[in-house]
Amino acid sequence: RNISTARQPMKHDTKNKAQWKTMGPAKVAVPSPKNFLKKHSKETKLPERKKEQESRKLPALSVLQRTNNPVMEIQSKKDFINANVVAAVTAVPKKPQPFCVDSRKGDKYLLETSGFVPKYIKKRDYGVTPKYVTQRNEEKRAQKEYEPSIQKAAMKQLPDEERTSLLQGLKNNWEEVYREFQRLPIHIDTISNRLYKEKLESQMRQLEHDIEIIEKHKVIYIANE
């Protein structure tokens, strides 16, 4: 009989290996025939009810029971019928809401929100002269009273072109001072920087005051040289 020459080395290699290394365990426990699958065995079961829950009392009902008898011999002396009659007689009748009908089919809407009710004339400031008009009239009156005294003092009126150029020059000066103010450090810890900052702030305030005066007064008089 032909015998393979590699048989002996293969047997030698398999002796040191465990029996379940490649083909599974040698001995497998056979399931018992008593542990067969039963009906509803895989369904989840609720925990058993405890005795404390069974002994717990139900909450008291808000409805009166049949055994409860109402308290007798307590009567109110109020005459509800007469009270209702008096309230109905003395009640102020409600005013009906005015409607506006805009079609023959009877489509209606509230008259108050329609725009036909003259609400504007019922305001407190209706017919009152606005503040800017009164202020303008006062400025004109002051200007008329001021012109004769200026003419007597030998003063002349500043032309509009010079007034515009003067106003623009003041604004340019304010912008230059503001640029210098922005170049200051955030944290000022020296006396020189503090004094310089105060100087720039005073210049800006003075320029703002001059600009406001020139913009407010349209007519400016200057003394003759």
Question: 164 lies in a domain?
Answer: yes
Question: 191 lies in a domain?
Answer: yes
Question: 193 lies in a domain?
Answer: yes
Whether residue 108 contacts residue 122, with contact meaning beta carbons closer than 8 Å, is answered with no
The residue range of the domain holding 210 is: 156-223
Tell me how many domains the chain contains: 1
Question: 165 lies in a domain?
Answer: yes
Supply the DSSP symbol for 23: T
Question: 160 lies in a domain?
Answer: yes
What pLDDT is recorded for position 62? 72
Question: 176 lies in a domain?
Answer: yes
What pLDDT is recorded for position 63? 75
Closest CA to 197 of 212, 209, 185: 185
What pLDDT is recorded for position 153? 59
What pLDDT is recorded for position 147? 67
CA distance 30 to 27: 9
Question: 216 lies in a domain?
Answer: yes
| pTM for this prediction | 0.34
CA distance 120 to 126: 7
The contacts of residue 193 (CB under 8 Å, 6+ apart) are 184, 185
What pLDDT is recorded for position 152? 57
Question: 107 lies in a domain?
Answer: no
Tens of pLDDT along the chain (225 residues) come to 677 766 665 555 555 555 556 566 667 778 888 888 888 888 888 888 776 655 566 666 677 777 877 777 677 788 889 999 999 999 988 888 888 888 888 888 888 888 788 888 878 888 888 889 998 898 888 878 776 666 655 567 778 888 888 899 999 999 999 999 888 888 888 888 889 889 999 999 999 998 988 888 887 777 766
